């Protein structure tokens, strides 16, 4: 997916021209993957662009950094203001937002602690991650031959750069085999998550997702969907899921910032079918909320301008 350029990128508190937002080749993060990042989205609403769960994302960035012993020199509020500035500068109505905390140039070696921590916030217009057709009719997923990295290998609660080698290996394998997305099992052989999404299944009207202790990212979309389900009176449990539970699911879907809420139509060629009623209900509510059409969840949006 080629990046669409916008005017500016926020780097350590300054708005820098897109083409000048560069780092030195000896930036340690590039070599060892020691860095943390976020994926956030701003949606077009009647009151201008609005960032979905903005504070929660920046708080998670700080938590990820804490796990990796990186001191982010900007507060959550400063980072949020940085996002708003860069969106205003670009003049876009909707976009994907990529905050990244990385080790700056100057030190090298496997000890990250002496390095200075830098932060950038880039934005660009980004359409549906798994395709419009996938959003509507569901995507085809494959259980990966790659095992989800365990919490005692690299902490799974941190959205750490290097972890994504694991995700990308699974993604490429799935794409090459003709599927849209991978589902990774954890070291215990239980269902963990997609390459960049949390996973939910529905059986006999009960919505289920693996617990965070299964080694999955504490997804902000996941948490929102759990809240929506409770408010919609959809029975919900965190459950240990086996591969066979995917095959016998009545419904299944992925959640994530890039992916949004995407129905899963089949797993390993086992048909789950067209998006079911629970998936549709959750998906409809999600899109109402992000587009600013829900009074009840208005607090989940951070409006970039003061348009009313
Ligand atoms: N699990 C993993 C491994 C993820 O990378 C993501 C998000 C999620 C779950 C869902 O988390 P959330 O709901 O908080 O977004 N992935 C990133 C995203 O922006 C990167 C994807 C390319 O969606």
pLDDT on residue 1: 82
Q: Tens digits of per-residue pLDDT, 213-244?
A: 999 999 999 999 999 999 999 999 999 999 99
DSSP 273: -
Q: Give the catalytic positions in this structure.
A: 159
Percentage, residues of the chain above pLDDT 90: 98
C-alpha distances in angstroms, 12 versus 46, 61, 216? 31, 15, 30
Q: Tens digits of per-residue pLDDT, 15-61?
A: 999 999 999 999 999 999 999 999 999 999 999 999 999 999 999 99
What are the residues facing 278 on neighbouring strands? Answer: none
* Closest residue CA from atom 8 of ligand 1: 197
Q: Which residues of 160-181 are buried (b: 16+ CB within 10 A; e: fewer)?
A: bbbbbebbebbbebbeeeebbb
What is the crossing angle of helices 54-67 and 76-90, to 10°?
Answer: 130
Exposed, middle or buried, 300 (CB in 10 Å: 0-12/13-18/19+)?
Answer: buried
CA of 163 to the centre of ligand 1 (A): 12
Ligand 1 atom showing the smallest separation from residue 60 Cα: 14
* Closest residue CA from atom 11 of ligand 1: 219
* Closest residue CA from atom 9 of ligand 1: 197
CA of 308 to the centre of ligand 1 (A): 31
CA of 194 to the centre of ligand 1 (A): 9
pLDDT on residue 307: 67
Ligand 1 atom showing the smallest separation from residue 98 Cα: 19
Mean pLDDT over 181-194 rounds to: 98
d(CA 29, CA 49): 31
Q: Tens digits of per-residue pLDDT, 109-165?
A: 999 999 999 999 999 999 999 999 999 999 999 999 999 999 999 999 999 999 999
Pocket of ligand 1 (CB under 6 A): 39, 167, 193, 196-198, 217, 219-222, 255-259
CA of 128 to the centre of ligand 1 (A): 14
């Amino acid at each position: 997916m080629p990046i669409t350029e916008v005017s500016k990128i926020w780097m350590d508190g300054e708005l820098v021209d897109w083409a000048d937002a560069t780092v030195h080749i000896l930036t340690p993060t590039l070599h060892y993957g020691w860095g943390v990042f976020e994926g956030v989205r701003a949606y077009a609403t009647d009151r201008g662009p609005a960032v979905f769960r903005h504070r929660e994302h920046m708080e998670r960035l700080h938590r990820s950094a804490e796990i990796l012993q990186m001191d982010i020199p900007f507060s959550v509020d400063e980072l949020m203001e940085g996002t708003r500035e860069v969106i205003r500068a670009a003049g876009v109505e909707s976009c994907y937002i990529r905050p990244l905390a990385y080790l700056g140039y100057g030190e090298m070696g496997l000890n990250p602690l002496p390095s200075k921590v830098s932060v950038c916030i880039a934005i660009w217009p980004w359409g549906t991650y798994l395709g419009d057709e996938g959003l509507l009719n569901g995507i085809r997923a494959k259980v990966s031959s790659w095992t989800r990295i365990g919490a005692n290998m690299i902490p799974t609660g941190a959205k750490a750069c290097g972890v994504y080698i694991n995700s990308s290996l699974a993604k490429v394998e799935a794409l090459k085999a003709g599927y849209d997305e991978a589902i990774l099992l954890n070291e215990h052989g239980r269902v963990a998550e997609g390459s960049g999404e949390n996973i939910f299944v529905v059986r006999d009207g009960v919505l289920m997702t693996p617990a965070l202790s299964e080694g999955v990212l504490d997804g902000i979309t996941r948490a929102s969907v759990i809240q929506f389900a409770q408010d919609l009176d959809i029975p919900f449990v965190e459950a240990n899921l086996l591969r066979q539970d995917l095959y016998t699911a009545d419904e299944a879907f992925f959640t994530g910032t890039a992916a949004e809420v995407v129905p899963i139509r089949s797993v390993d060629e086992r048909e789950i079918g067209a998006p079911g009623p629970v998936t549709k209900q959750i998906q409809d509510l999600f899109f109402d909320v992000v587009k600013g059409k829900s009074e009840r969840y208005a607090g989940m949006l951070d409006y970039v301008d003061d348009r009313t």
